[in-house]
Chains A and B, each alone.
Chain A
Amino acid sequence: AQKVTQAQTEISVVEKEDVTLDCVYETRDTTYYLFWYKQPPSGELVFLIRRNSFDEQNEISGRYSWNFQKSTSSFNFTITASQVVDSAVYFCALRLIQGAQKLVFGQGTRLTINP
């Protein structure tokens, strides 16, 4: 079975600080996708990134960056120069490439950016 762990339940930082959200996953399969989603107070999930297990290249998108390391089964998410609008709950998720398309979510990290 697959499992995703986000050990940080809540993080609070001051605006403009950098913040990293941790994600550790477990799976016996060698082919899978990893995702990050943002859930603002409205509740709607916002897709941020998808990574497949073949591609360990780090990715940067504006102030967002992701560090994927298969050796430690981690897929961490960093927000640089955080802004108040980044306040939300962030979920890491995993899905196997083969078979059912079931998404397994982590517990989520509530991020609060204080002005």
Chain B
Amino acid sequence: GAVVSQHPSWVICKSGTSVKIECRSLDFQATTMFWYRQFPKQSLMLMATSNEGSKATYEQGVEKDKFLINHASLTLSTLTVTSAHPEDSSFYICSASDGSYNEQFFGPGTRLTVL
């Protein structure tokens, strides 16, 4: 099956700093990528959808100025958490679709801890 990687797998940062998370599709071209957030013992909540070369579409309640998403190529999307605070600590998961509309391929996730 298609492989999606995320980097880093975990990160610890100080409050007020920015953190960038990368999501890569390794063996296919991802026309659409999705970013999810999962708090402990909770479900996955979609944060935003990004299509290559265009601006991301954010879900209601997600601050677009805080969570910057860039999908500059067909194999790479990045999520930057700006001025991170402890409440941003979460598990961030990306997924990618090749446009077949049948399945999203999930990355392994990035665990962010903000001190």
* Chain A residues proximal to chain B, CB less than 8 Å: 33, 37, 42-45, 47, 50, 91, 97, 100-108, 110
Contacts and interface: CB of A to CB of B under 8 A. Distances in A.
B67 interface: no
A110 to B, nearest CB: 8
A97 B100 CA distance: 11
A101 B32 contact: yes
Q: How large is the interface on B (under 10, 10 to 19, 20 to 34, 35 or more residues)?
A: 20 to 34
Interface string B87-100: 00001010101000
A100 B43 contact: no
Contacts of B49: 100-102
Q: In this complex, which of A44, A91, A97, A101 has the most chain B Cβ atoms within 10 angstroms of its Cβ?
A: A101
A101 B97 contact: yes
A78 B34 CA distance: 29
B74 to A, nearest CB: 16
A85 B104 CA distance: 24
